[in-house]
Structure 1
Amino acid sequence: MAAQLWMLRHGEAVPHDSKPDAERELTPRGRTQAEAAGRALAALNVELAACYASPKVRAWETAQLACAALNVKLIREDALANGFSRVDALTLLEAHDAHILVVGHEPSFSQVVYDLTSARVDFKKGGVAAISATRTAGQLLALLRPRDLEAISAPRG
């Protein structure tokens, strides 16, 4: 079975002009999106070997909140901060030969999806994409919007 790359775009953050880009934190809505993403991945029984996150505050916060529900080690990955690429993604996957989660930014995430699968996606803040990938091929397995993740993570009653 090919390793899977699960990609979580950071949740909604404070406006660009409010502070330096790397210091922008999540809004309350962004925190809710991050928590829902983690609960949804847990509900889907996604087993992850590791979670790599951009050091930018909004992505790191997203990863911390999502990983609270996932029982996975969180690792800072500077490559996710600017210009995360197909090669970076495959390098992380090959280090584990298992399913991993990466938390980062646009437009890099959409480009990685395209480079691995030829799929063009609209990657929403707080959204998740899953790719089955090898060095030579990739397949888009899922593209989940924040509202999809909220529905999956909602308590059943």
Structure 2
Amino acid sequence: MELFLVRHAIAAPLPEGGGEEEDAARPLIPKGVRRFRKVVRGLKALGVGLDLVLTSPKRRALETARLLGPLLEGEVRTTPLLAGPLSEALLEELPEEGRVALVGHEPHLSALLAWLLFGHLLEGVAPQALEERVLLKKGGVAWLRGRPEPGGMVLRALFPPKVFRL
């Protein structure tokens, strides 16, 4: 299987004093949409096609997932498991074969990336520490291949969004 971990594109900032509801409703800003469309074009030029997109239900992730449309040959589904901390239940939602994109948020995507690559090495490591070591910028993509289990995948590429703007 090939797995693409996609951090949502640039979104509107959280209003001062905003809570979880306001955070979940934040849309992408026009700059984020423009830049992420370039990421999609770049992935398409690399021959990337997707069978399934699983996305966080937060608005900015949903909008990013929709922008992946030109790569998608299957469906887009939401899962609350991409809006929160790392969970083995997320891996159970993945098919064993195909190309799947997961659209979510930091620091959870960096934790997922490290878990899939290194498995047991994650014990006792704070998600914020992983985000500092594996920088997945807004609109960035990590391309993995292997079995979707702890330590079962290898990193094919880590694309900061800027690489597709050149």
Quote the offset at 1:96 in angstroms. 4.6
Aligned counterparts of 1:150 and 1:92: Cα–Cα separation in 2? 33
Aligned counterparts of 1:34 and 1:105: Cα–Cα separation in 2? 15
Q: Percent identity?
A: 35
Corresponding residue of 1:155: none
Runs of 4+ in 1 over 6 A off after TM superposition: none
Provide closer, same or farther for how the CA distance between residues 142 and 89 of structure 1 changes in structure 2, counting only shifts above 3 A.
Answer: farther
Quote the offset at 1:25 in angstroms. 0.6
User: What SS is found at the alignment partner of 1:49?
Assistant: strand
User: What SS is found at the alignment partner of 1:16?
Assistant: coil
Give the total of aligned pairs: 146
Aligned counterparts of 2:91 and 2:96: Cα–Cα separation in 1? 10
Aligned counterparts of 2:143 and 2:91: Cα–Cα separation in 1? 14
The alignment's TM-score, normalised by the length of structure 2, stands at 0.79
5+ residue gaps, structure 1: 152-157
Corresponding residue of 2:138: 125
Q: How does 1:111-122 map to 2 (within 5 A)?
A: 111-118=111-118, 120-122=133-135
Please say if residues 52 and 100 of structure 2, whose CA atoms lie closer than 8 Å, have aligned partners that are also in contact.
yes
Q: How does 1:1-157 map to 2 (within 5 A)?
A: 3-17=1-15, 20-67=22-69, 69-72=70-73, 73-85=75-87, 87-93=88-94, 95-118=95-118, 120-134=133-147, 135=149, 136-151=151-166
Provide closer, same or farther for how the CA distance between residues 92 and 37 of structure 1 changes in structure 2, counting only shifts above 3 A.
Answer: farther
Cα RMSD for the two superposed structures? 1.9
The farther-off stretch of 55-64 and 31-40 is 31-40
Please say if residues 52 and 74 of structure 1, whose CA atoms lie closer than 8 Å, have aligned partners that are also in contact.
yes
Quote the offset at 1:149 in angstroms. 2.6
5+ residue gaps, structure 2: 119-129
CA displacement, residues 42-91 of structure 1 (integer Å, 9 cap, x when unaligned): 11111221011111011101111122x11332111221111244x24532
